[in-house]
């Protein structure tokens, strides 16, 4: 019992969250980037925590990828993360400097920006893995994008990527 409790504390402890500073060198799709550490020793794949973007062949897939590229490509980023997925990608929040505020530092949450522009869904299935404040902010951004009918919410019945991948089209 002691080992299980200790393991749960270690996994859920924000104090054990890691931070990675890197340069964004690739955008795979609307929720995945590639970046090099400052010494260009290692290329990392980063999956944006808390969102799921349309697949490339899905409606809005290309636009979602382009929007993330406009936000992050070629910039330095700060990644706050606590885990890797089964493909060894880092799952984390990606923070970059906003294009309209040079010198502001890494104050733009790319995942939240994807949601606000209607370029991704809030991935509620994994909400428990998000810090509470982030979870509420992401839910709010998705609700606002829906209400404004922006991005993928222009479609009368957008298909979430998790259904698209299962062939529910």
Element (H, E) at 149: none
Of 44, 49, 89, 141, the catalytic one is 89
- 16 CB contacts (<8 Å, ≥6 apart)? 10, 82
Mark residue 10 as left, alpha or beta (left: phi above 0; alpha: psi -120 to 50; beta: remaining). Answer: alpha
Q: Is 56 a catalytic residue?
A: no
Cα(163)–Cα(54) distance, integer angstroms: 10
Q: Are strands 121-122 and 51-52 parallel, antiparallel or unpaired?
A: antiparallel
Sign of the alpha-carbon dihedral angle for 7, 133, 105, 113: positive
The CA-based angle 81-84-89, given to 5 degrees, is: 100
Of 44, 47, 49, 141, the catalytic one is 47
Cα(46)–Cα(35) distance, integer angstroms: 8
Q: Is 112 a catalytic residue?
A: no
Q: Is 166 a catalytic residue?
A: no
Q: Are strands 90-96 and 108-109 parallel, antiparallel or unpaired?
A: antiparallel
Instruction: Report the catalytic residues.
Output: 47, 55, 89
């Amino acid at each position: 019992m002691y080992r299980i409790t200790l393991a749960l504390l270690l996994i859920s402890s924000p104090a054990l969250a890691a931070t990675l500073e890197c340069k964004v060198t690739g955008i795979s799709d609307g929720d995945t980037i590639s970046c090099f550490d400052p010494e260009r020793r290692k290329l990392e794949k980063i999956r944006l925590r808390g969102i799921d973007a349309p697949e490339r062949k899905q409606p809005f897939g290309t636009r979602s990828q382009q929007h993330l590229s406009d936000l992050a490509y070629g910039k330095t980023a700060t990644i706050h993360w606590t885990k890797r997925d089964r493909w060894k990608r880092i799952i984390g929040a990606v923070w970059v400097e906003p294009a309209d505020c040079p010198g502001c530092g890494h104050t733009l949450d790319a995942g939240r920006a994807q949601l606000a522009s209607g370029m991704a869904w809030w991935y509620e299935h994994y909400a428990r893995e998000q810090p509470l404040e982030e979870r509420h902010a992401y839910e709010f951004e998705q609700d606002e994008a829906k209400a404004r009918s922006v991005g993928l919410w222009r479609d009368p019945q957008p298909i979430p990527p998790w259904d698209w991948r299962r062939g529910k089209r």
